Amino acid sequence: MLRTLFGKSITYKLTALLSLVVVITLGIVLCLYIYFEKDFAHDTSAYQFSLATRTINELLSYTNGKEHNLSPQQIIEEVDEASGVNYITLYDNNGRPVISSTPSRQAPLKEKDLTQLQDLSYDHYISSMSEKTLDYIAPVRLVAGCQKCHHNGDRLGFVKVSVYYSQIYKHTYAMAKKLGLIFVSIFFIFGVISIFISETMVVRPLKGFLELIHKAEANNFLPRAEQNRKDEIGEIENNFNQMLSRITKLMAASVERERELVFAKEELRYKKILEKRSEQIEEMNKELGESVKELSLLYNFGQYIISTVDMNELLRIITTTIVDTLHYKECAILFREDNILRIVSAWGFEDNIKLIGMEFGLDEGISGQVASTGKPMLINDTSNEVGYLHYKGQKRTEGSFLSLPLKYKNNVIGVLNVGNDVPNSLTRKDMDFLSAICAQIAVVIENTRLYAQTKELSITDDLTGLFNRRHMRVVLDKEWERAKRYSQPLSLLMIDVDLFKEYNDKFGHLKGDEALGTLSQIFKTHIRGIDTTIRYGGEEFIIILPDTNADGAMIVAEKLRKATVEAFKQDGTIILTVSIGFVSYPDEMFDNANEFLYASDIALYEAKKQGRNTIIKYDSKSMQENDT
């Protein structure tokens, strides 16, 4: 309602609020005035009664002094002329009316009034009260002159005065009218002053402050309020200026952050583009790297496998390189010999040696199918493949398996197997890459076979199948250097067939050639795999025994001598024997392999001298004396 009446102006609002306070205050004052009006009337009437009684006493005193010159009627009439008195009645000490200004009021006092008057300790009391009048009763006190005639106590009688309220209220109403005019004047002056003060001290500063707020709403935070006041409005302006300053800083920081955010978004966008391009480039580099790696592996693998001409070494290099370089778990190579597949090399298994020599038929397992069909086979999970033989129990039961044929001129010469212990870890990519490697492996294996055959023809004797004298020099030099470097024993047997010319003359050269063949088989049977048997020339043989001392050489020589005797015994007659001379290092010290070989020849010569079919160890001291 006030908002509708006074609108938005703070001046009128403040004035209305203050005026409301004044009106409420005046209302409270008037209410208090009205509340205490009766008491005021009582006090006024009591005052008038006291004036009346005092006048009566003075008139009585005057009458006494004048020998009763004034009658009671005159006294009452004199007093009744006072303003506001309704009537006056005089009573004697017994409460009986003596005289009254109004005859109808000459009733005697009531018993309760007399009792009250007897016990009265003050000047008067109110006997009755009506809507228009207020009645007072008080004793009439004796004065000095009255005591000559009156001897009944300290009073002559009683007086009753009835006073009108109207006369009292006239004064009250006049006072209220004056107070009302004063209150209206105060209210008007107060309103004008309030409007002026509000407009000057509050509204104008707040209007300027409101303009700043509107500018701030329009994002203009640069203007500031004038800080020339020390009151609450000045404090508000100061806080508002600080707020604007903070907002300005925040806006500047926000603009800077937005600028940085725009730059960051652009940078992030370009970064994502670059990352995407980088991922594409990385993927291409990865593919290119894998291709280069594959080509590099193919090249290096080719270099590895052509670096040796020894078949066993070649197969070892192939299997170990595939496992170590290509990171497969295991690898095995099987050669095809007619209808048999035989494992010739293995790497990565629990027992590689145990697999060497294991054979499979062409109708057995995955390898047999690959060798028969000439097509590779990929097994993703060997535990679910019935045809997978697990290398006859030597291989774990689960994993991936890949078998590829080794082809040379469209002929399957073998099979290459690789495996992992994780199912589905081998893919078509592995098959394609290993197929390219298998093509190289097949060519190198065949070339190595041809080389081995050619080399074997060049270093072996056609008649006996033993190594010839050319190969003897290579083996002897290698074993001599190894024995000296590692301080290992080395023995050399030189064997000659006794009276072989007579044997040929007696039995013929064909029988002589058969005899040499038989001797070569005897030598092969009774020596180790690391030993080397050589046909040195004609009917002479040399056996190189690595890691063998003099006692071991003597045992081998004796086995060969006895085996020869047993082989060439006819009807209890020995028809062919051998003489053996041997030398052992380091029992005898030499400067080179030639001296070592020459010492064995000296020992053989000594065995011939001592009757043939005997064995002589080279002794440098005794044989040097014999030479001397």
**Residue 551, in any domain of the structure:** yes
* Structural domain includes residue 59: yes
Q: Phi, psi (5° rounding) for residue 388?
A: -85, 120
| Residues 291 and 376 both lie in one domain | no
Domain total for the chain? 4
Rounded distance between C-alpha atoms, residue 371 and residue 406, angstroms: 8
Domain boundary among the residues 201, 220, 239 is at: 220
In angstroms and rounded to an integer, the radius of gyration of the C-alpha atoms of the chain is: 77
pLDDT at 614: 95
Query: How many Cβ atoms from other residues are within 10 Å of residue 201's Cβ?
Result: 13
CA distance 95 to 399: 145
Give me the CATH number covering residue 408: 3.30.450.40
Residues 434 and 506 in one domain: no
Per annotation, catalytic residue among 539, 540, 566, 625:
539
Those residues with Cβ within 8 angstroms of residue 88's Cβ, 6 or more apart along the chain or in another chain: 52, 56, 76, 79, 80, 100, 101, 159, 160, 161, 162
Q: What is the mean pLDDT of each run of 10 residues along the chain (628 residues)?
A: 49 64 72 61 60 61 51 65 70 78 74 70 60 72 59 68 64 65 74 71 67 69 63 68 73 77 80 80 70 63 66 86 86 90 90 87 88 92 80 72 91 92 89 87 84 70 86 91 93 95 91 92 91 91 95 95 92 91 93 93 93 92 61
How far apart, in whole angstroms, are the C-alpha atoms of residue 351 and residue 343? 13
Q: Kind of pairing, strands 97-100 and 125-129? A: unpaired
Structural domain includes residue 455: no
Tell me the residue range of the domain where 614 lies: 460-627
Signed CA dihedral, 492, 497, 499, 505: sign only: negative
Residues 59 and 177 in one domain: yes
pLDDT at 618: 93
DSSP 3-state assignment of 91? strand
312 and 286 inside one domain: no
CA distance 232 to 230: 7
DSSP of 138-201, one letter per residue? EEEE--TGGGGT--SSSEEEEEEEEEEHHHHHHHHHHHHHHHHHHHHHHHHHHHHHHHHHIIII
Report the pLDDT value the prediction gives residue 2, as an integer from 0 to 100: 47
In a domain, 140, yes or no: yes
Q: Give the integer Cα–Cα distance in Å for 497 and 564.
A: 10
Residue 450 lies in a domain: no
- Do 298 and 338 share a structural domain? no
Q: Tokens 């003597």 map to which residue?
A: 554
Stated as kind and residue range, the H or E segment containing 614 is none
Domain boundary among 239, 274, 304: 304
Cis peptide, bond prior to residue 405, ω within 30 of zero: no
Rounded-to-integer distance, Cα 348 and Cα 51, Å: 146
d(CA 486, CA 363): 49
Helix or strand holding residue 573 (H, E)? strand 573-574
Strands ordered across the beta sheet of 615-617: 532-537, 540-546, 490-497, 578-585, 615-617
**Among the listed residues 493, 589, 600, the one whose alpha carbon sits nearest the alpha carbon of residue 546:** 493
Question: What 3 state SS string does 180-198 have?
Answer: HHHHHHHHHHHHHHHHHHH
Coil/strand/helix, residue 411: strand
Domain boundary among 304, 322, 344: 304
Neighbour tally for 413: CB within 10 Å: 19
Q: Do 491 and 547 fall within a single domain?
A: yes
Query: Does 454 fall in a domain?
Result: no
Provide the 10 A C-beta neighbour count for residue 29: 12
Give residue 96's pLDDT: 81
Helix, strand, coil fractions of the chain, as percent rounded to 5: 60, 20, 25
Q: What is the dihedral of CA 258, 264, 270, 273, to 10 degrees?
A: -110
User: Does residue 451 sit within a domain?
Assistant: no
Same domain, 561 and 512: yes
pLDDT at 373: 92
Same domain for 289 and 314 = no
323 and 203 within one domain? no
Q: What is the token pair recorded at 528?
A: 């180790």
Same structural domain, 192 and 60: yes
CB 36 within 8 A of CB 62: no
Write out the two tokens for 204.
């104008």
State the CATH number of the domain containing residue 483: 3.30.70.270
Q: Are residues 432 and 464 in the same domain?
A: no
Domain identity same for 103 and 23: yes
Q: What is the CATH number of the domain that holds 151?
A: 3.30.450.20
Task: Please check whether residue 544 is in contact with residue 477, taking contact to mean a CB–CB distance below 8 angstroms.
Answer: no
Residue 452 lies in a domain: no
User: CB-based contacts of 110: which residues, under 8 Å, 6+ apart?
Assistant: 95
Nearest to 28 by CA among 39, 38, 20: 20
The yes-or-no answer on residue 235 being catalytic is no
